[in-house]
Each structure stands twice: as structure tokens, then as C-alpha cells.
Structure 1
Amino acid sequence: MGAAATLVAPWRGLSPAVWILVAARTVNRVGAFTLPFLGVVLTVEFGASLGQAGLVLALFGAATIPSRLLGGRLADRLGRRRTIVLGLTGCAVAQAWIALSSSLWSAVLATALLGLVFEIYEPPSQAMIADVTEPDRRPAAYGLYSAALAAAGVLAGLLAAAISHVDLRWLFVADAFTCLACAVLVALALPTGEQAAPQEARVTVWRDGRLLLLLASGTIFATLYMQLVIGLPLTLLEEGLTPSGFGIILAVSAVVLIVAQRLVRPQRLDDFASIAIGYVLLGVGLLISAFAQSLAIFLLATVFWSLGDLFLLTRYLTQASGLAPDHARGRYLAVFGLSWGIATMIAPITVTKLLELAGPKGLWLTSAALAVVLAILQPWFRKRLTRVPASCPTDRRAALN
């Protein structure tokens, strides 16, 4: 009991709405083990060639970009809760459609729909966390959110391994069920979160240079993160290690993220100091990966880059939410969230090209150098991101620190 209380301590006093959102997203994340198997389903169940499956998966990835923008706009116009329910219900419909498809074209259309609704949930959920949490508590709230997703991701992998031995279409049925369960939980338990923008306070999100600068920085971070996800399994193969070791790496990463939230207390730092430390830790982890030849050394690297993620990911979200006027927070977070869609398209190219040209050592040394550069640049980012435009509220600067 004492250990549990110690781990929960950083999150005491958070709004019940935060806990409901975290619970719903965790359940949904546990059920979201279908995507790694989508290419397999397209080829095995629907007879698609590898080239066709690749094109369909690319279509899905491209569709997630307007999906996130739509989620941000609806969050500010329709309301947080309604948008979350809409997104989750849409995912359930698309997943069920894939499971019930009898032809490749039907599955392709369902996959496109899944991409268009897949990211609708994220901007309103992240915006609502900011809505109900004081600025100085947002790192803790977003930290809880990311820790829960990390833990759920490990469980999702175990469930995927168990269910994938039966008909693969049952994976999509299970995911559809969890999406509907989350939609019901959100509809019944969350406050409405209505956040309609007054006509005289309309903003053009794309004209905020600070947000675009943050988007560029966040895209580099997301690309480094996605390079780890894509590049580590390939590196393990290059070093003659079993790919199953990547599952162990993911499990260790999740444990580090959860436990370190209490032991390290990153919430005590301001955003820019936290990000600088995060990039240094990430760089150390990437540097160790460059010279690792055994699973034990890769796990040591995992501890460092996972600690770096702890300092980085939540602070980028607090910065994006702090820049936004209250009535445009959903759209600001949606635009910032594009960093992950862009990174998902860039990382496969950078990983494969660097592995071809310089091998695993070149890939991770290049990535480590980029992380260190970003750590050094944080005073420069502080100066520009804390510069408050005349049109913004005077307390916007405080929200970033």
C-alpha cells in the first residue's frame, strides 16, 4: 500500500476528468493492437500483394493528418466530449467494417475511414486535460496520460500475441468493442467540455509563428522517437539478436516511464530546462545504442532514452497548450500533433537510408548528435517561445514556465 501511494503521489489532486480520460484512453490503447496486423490481414485475408498492402498502409497514414486537424476544429466548435465520442465511435465503425469486409476494395475503404477518424480523439482529450488542470499541474497530468499509455501498450502487445493465433479478423472486432466501451464511458462520465469560440475572438492558428516553431521542434523530437521504434528492431537483427528482444525493450521502457515519474520529479523543472535535460538523456541512450552489441547494453540504453522521453513528451504538450487561447486550444494541439504524422512519414526513410549508408552506428550517432544540438538550443527556443504577441493575454508567458 505504501509503495502504491508513493507511485500515485505526483498525480494526487488531479481533476476526476483527467482520470476518466486516462482510463478511457488506456482501455482503448489496450484494444488498439490491430494496426501492426493490418498489413498481414490485407495480404492473408484479402489477397493483396505486398506492394498493394504498402500503398493501403500509406493511405492510412496520410489520412491521419486531416483526422487530427478535424479533431482540433471539432473540439473547439462542437465541444470536447462530443468530439471524443464521435472519434471513438467512428473508429469502432471502421474496425467493424474491416472485420466484416468480403473484398479487398471494401477493406481499403474501411482502412481509409479508419485513418480519417483515428486521430479525432487526441486533440479534444489533450485540450480537456489542459482545460481542467492549472498550468503548473499540466506536466503531471500529461505525465499520467503518457505513463498509462506506455503500460497499456505492453499489455496490448501481449493480447495481440494471444489473439493473433486465431482468425485475425477477431483483432478488429476486439478493437471495435473497446472503442465503443470507451465512447460510452466518456459520454456518461465526462463533463460536456463545451468550448465554443466567441465570434470576436476567432484566431488563425497557422499565423502564430511560435506554434510553427514549436511544431518544427516537436517534429524533430517525434522523428527521433519514431526512429527508435523503427530502427531498434532492425538494429537487433544487424547485431544477430532476436527481434523478440524489442518486446523486452518496450516493457522496460514502460516500467521506467511509470516509476521515474515519482522518483525523478520532472514536474519541478520549467519546460525548457526539462526539455534540455531530456535531450541530453536521450542523446546518451542513443550513443549507447550506437555501440551496443548485447541485449543487456540495449536495455541500459533504453533506461536513458526512456528517461529522456519522460522529460520531453509531456513538456511539449504543456508548451502547446500554454501557447493557445482557451477557445482555440483544440486547434493548437491538433496542429502541434501533426508532428507525429510527419515523423511517421520521415522516420522510415531516414532509418533505412542511414542503415544502408552508415549502418546502426551511423544511425544512432547521427541521432545522438541531433539530440545534443536541440539541448543546446533550448535557451534560443525559450527566448522566442516566451515572447508574447500583443494580441495574446498577458499571462501567456507564465503558462509556458
Structure 2
Amino acid sequence: MFQKIFSRYIDNFRGFSREIWILTLITFINRAGTMVLPFLSKYLHEDLHFSLSKVGTIMVFFGAGSMLGSWLGGKLSDKMGFYRIMLFSLFTSGILLICLQYIKSFEGLCVGMFLIMVVSDMFRPAMFVSIAAYSKPENRTKSLTLVRLAINLGFAAGPAIGGLIIVSLGYQSLFWIDGLTCILAILIFWLMVKEKKKSTYLDKEHPGEVLTQSVFRDKIFWIFLTSTLIVGVMFFQLFNTIQIYHKHQFGLTEFQTGLLLTFNGVLVFFIEMPLVNYIERKKIDKIKVITFGCFLMAISLFLLLINTWAGILLIMMLFMTFAEMFSFPFSNGFAMSRAPKHQQGRYMAIFTMTYSFAQILSPKIGFSIVEKYSYQANWFFMGTLGLIGTLLGIWVYKLVQSESKSHVINLKNS
């Protein structure tokens, strides 16, 4: 029985190209070493003693750099090719992360975080284009899911190890590990994967033409992006207000917080790929799945209104994890499916910029509400925001259904 279940699980991982597997490996190495970011708010507040308001401001610069980096990464991927952008981004961000530990001033950290995120997040749209270039069209969503699994497997190991390192060696060691793993990951990629010169996903003859005619007039896509933004704002609470709340409300250590994040990563690793396969096999509508994920995320934040029992943090993380598994892989897939042919780099840049904008809004809104009112007010606000995102998802679903019907009618008439 166990052998049959294991065999079915392994079957989910068949059919990927060699390049996708190597991309998955370097993503895992990079993510396992990214131990600073999950504890960044705690580092700024508890180690450098910045106020919650200043932490929120630094995180705004973090998000602003992420937005600019995402835009540059998409634009330059279409002009110069994703391969060069990926090499430059990870190698340079590794060096910058090592240097970041020596910056202690508020102004210096604002500038430093902005520059690091500009360079670091150039990688994301380039990686999306690389997946499109190296994977078969029918495997694209599964390839995205495989890379996400690598992220989450690294995420499962990273925070727990990071929490132990903080307790035993301090925060400074994390910056070295983070930077060196970035450099190691991209060296492996450079040695093992050759640049794909002629990608069918690049259009150098008419750069920007499809984007101008399509993306900015795509009503469905922009409503979808608004819902995606809301999901991002809720999810990124996990890396700012929720982590500080763990200590303030329940007295959790960094290691205990790391274990909760590890719980999230392990669940995603074992469940997400079979879940994605099942949903695709049953041909369940992507927008329905994404919308349900948004609803679950709203519920997870409403659960934090229960503040007298520490066990609620585990239940909350369970809801958050399933929300993430329903929302993120299918959001990537839907965004890519809306992209005009030959413009995936720029189109996915806009999509990734939405999450970058969420990184700006999430800590600033969250910490402002906490300082002015309370943690409880923040959870209520974020949960309500999630319900609005759910309604937007329902609206997108209806618009897509209407669009499909109109397309069928036009084909019949022609």
C-alpha cells in the first residue's frame, strides 16, 4: 500500500527536462540559504532596536527595490536574454548580502535594502522566462510547481536552521551564509546549463508592441492583479507582523517561529505537486482554485483573533499553507496564460511587480495598524481585505466565462 502511494507520488515528478531539474536544484540551494529574510523584521526591531514604524519604512524600501528589480528583470530578459540576467542577479546579490551586515544606520539600511532588492528581484521574471524556454508547453504549470517545491523545501530547512544559528552565533552569520549560497547556486547554474540563444518566448523585432496593445487594456488581468495584490499583502504578514506577534503575544523564540515556517514548507513539499496534478487532471478552473485560496488566507488571519491559546498558531499556519498551495502556482499559470505570445518576460514582470508592491504595503499597513490600534485590529483588517479579494476573484471568473462565450460566438460567426 505504502509502495503504491510512493510510486504515485514519484510519478508526479516525471517528464521534466534536465534544465528544469538543474533550475530546481539551484533554487533549492539559494532558498535554503536565504535565512536572513524570514527574520529581517525581527533583526531590525530586536537586534538593531528600530521602532516598528522605522522597520515598516525600511520594508517599504525593500518592496520598492523589489518592484524596480522585477520590472528591470522582465524588460532586460526580453532584450538581453534571461540567462545573463539570472547570472548577474544572483552573483551580485550574494556579494551585496554579505556587505549588508555592516550597515547599521536607518538611512543606510533603507538605501542598502533598496539596492539589494533591485538586483535580487531581477532574477524572478528572468526565472519565469527560463521555465517557459526550457519546459514543454504542457508541463509549464507543473514546472512552475516543481520550482516552487524547491523554494518551499529550502524554506522548510532555512528558517529552522536560521533560528538555531541566531540563537547560537547571532544574526551576522546569516548574512554570510545567505550571500555565499547565492553565489554557489548561480555557479552551479552557469556550469551545468547552457544559454538557450533562440527562445521562442522572446520577440526582439517588436519589443513592447504586444504589451502596449494587450496588457494595459486587459481588464480581466488587472482585476486579477488586484486580487493577487491582496493575497500578497496577507501572505507577507507572515514575514513581518506575525513573527513579532509570536514573541509579543506568546513568547515564542526565533527557533520556534522557524519551526512553524518549517511546518509550512514541509506541507507544501509533500502536498502541492499531487494537488496541482489532481486539479489539472480534473480540469478544475484555475480562477476558482485561486479564489478559494484567497478565501482560505482570509480565514487564516481571522483565526489570529483567538489570542489566548498558542495552538491557534499551528492551525492558522495550516490554513495559510493550503491557501498558498491553491493561490500561488495557479496564479503564476493564469498570468502566463494571459500573456501575449513572445512577451512573457515583460508580462511576467508586471505580475511579479504585484508581489513586490505587496511587500511594500504589507509591513507598512500592518505595523501602522499595530502601533495605532492593536494586533487584533490588524488581523481583522487583513481578513476583511481577503474577503474583498475573494469577491474580486469571483468577478474575474465571471468575466473569463463571458470572454470565452464571446470568443466561441465569434469563431462560429466567422
Short-chain TM bin: 0.7 to 0.9
Q: CA deviation at 1:307?
A: 0.7
The partner residue of 2:396 within 356, 378, 381 is 381
Partner of residue 348, structure 2: 333
The answer to whether the 8 Å contact 1:260/1:307 transfers is no
Take 1:54 and 1:301, find their aligned partners in 2: how far apart are those partners? 23
Letter matched to residue 280 of structure 2: Q
Query: Tell me, what secondary structure is at the counterpart of 2:195?
Result: coil
Q: Does 2:76 align with 1:74? A: yes
Match of 1:180 among 183, 192, 195: 183
**Any idea what SS the aligned residue of 2:305 has?**
helix
* Alignment equivalent of 1:275, drawn from 282, 290, 293: 290
Q: Which residue of 2 aligns with 1:204?
A: 211
Percent same amino acid among aligned pairs? 20
CA distance in 1, matches of 2:124, 2:175: 20
Q: Is the 8 A contact 1:80 1:193 kept in 2?
A: no
Aligned pairs (5 A) from 1:1-400: 2=3, 4-35=6-37, 58-98=60-100, 111-134=113-136, 136-164=138-166, 165-166=168-169, 168-194=171-197, 195=199, 196-200=202-206, 202-204=209-211, 207-209=216-218, 210-237=220-247, 239-244=249-254, 245-261=256-272, 264=275, 265-268=278-281, 269-291=284-306, 293-355=308-370, 359-385=374-400
Q: Deviations over 1:335-374 (max 9, x none)?
A: 1111222112211233234445664444334433433343
Tell me which moved more, 88-97 or 366-375.
366-375
Q: Per the alignment, do residues 287 and 333 of structure 1 end up closer, same or farther by CA in structure 2, a change over 3 Å counting?
A: same
Q: Is the 8 A contact 1:92 1:176 kept in 2?
A: yes
- How large is the RMSD of aligned CA atoms in angstroms? 3.7
Letter in 1 for 2:232: A
Distance 1:315 1:238, change over 3 A: same
Gaps of 5+ in 2: 409-414
Please, what TM-score do these two structures have when normalized by structure 1?
0.82
Q: With structure 2 as the length reference, what TM-score do the two structures score? A: 0.79
CA contact (8 A) 1:241 1:295 kept: no
Counterpart of 1:33 in 2: which secondary structure? coil
Distance 2:49 2:240 in 1: 23
Contact 2:60/2:364, CA 8 A, preserved across alignment? no
Q: Equivalents in 2 of 1:361, 1:236: separation in Å?
A: 13
Residue by residue, what CA displacement relative to the aligned partner does 1:3-61 show, whole Å, maximum 9, x if unpaired?
Answer: 6544333232123222221211111112222346778989999x997798876664444
**C-alpha distance 108-216 of structure 1, shift in aligned 2 (>3 A):** closer
Change over 3 Å in CA distance of 1:324–1:38 after alignment to 2: same
Residue by residue, what CA displacement relative to the aligned partner does 1:54-109 show, whole Å, maximum 9, x if unpaired? Answer: 76664444222211111111211111222111111221232344468899998876
Cα distance in 1 for residues equivalent to 2:62 and 2:301: 30
Counterpart for residue 399 of structure 1:
none
**Separation in 2, partners of 1:252, 1:35:** 17
The letter of the residue matching 1:378 is: G
Q: Once the two structures are superposed, what CA deviation does each residue of 1:263-311 show, in whole Å capped at 9, x if it has no partner?
A: 5434342211211322333233333332353232321222122111101
Decide whether aligned partners of structure 1 residues 49 and 82 sit closer, same or farther in structure 2, where only a CA change above 3 A counts: same
Where does the alignment leave 5 or more consecutive residues of structure 1 unmatched? 396-401
The C-alpha deviation readout for 1:151-194, integer Å capped at 9, x for no partner, is: 21232223333444447544333333222222122223234244
Change (3 A) 1:53 1:358: closer
- Using the alignment, how far apart are the partners of 2:60 and 2:6 within structure 1? 42
Shift in CA distance, 267/289, structure 1 to aligned 2, threshold 3 Å: farther
Which range is displaced more, 328-337 or 372-381?
A: 372-381
CA contact (8 A) 2:26 2:188 kept: yes
Q: 1:44 to 1:218 in 2, by over 3 A?
A: closer
For CA contacts below 8 A with separation 6 or more, give which structure has more relative contact order: 2
Name the CA shift for 1:130/1:58 in 2 (closer, same or farther; >3 Å): same
Whether contact under 8 Å (1:41, 1:169) holds in the other structure is: no
User: Against the structure 1 CA distance between its residues 241 and 127, is the aligned structure 2 distance closer, same or farther, given a 3 Å change threshold?
Assistant: same
Task: Report how many aligned residue pairs link the two structures.
Answer: 390
Question: Partners of 1:353 and 1:4 in 2: how far apart?
Answer: 47
Alpha-carbon contact 1:72-1:331 (below 8 Å) kept: yes
Structure 1 residues 234 and 59, CA gap change in structure 2 (3 angstroms): closer
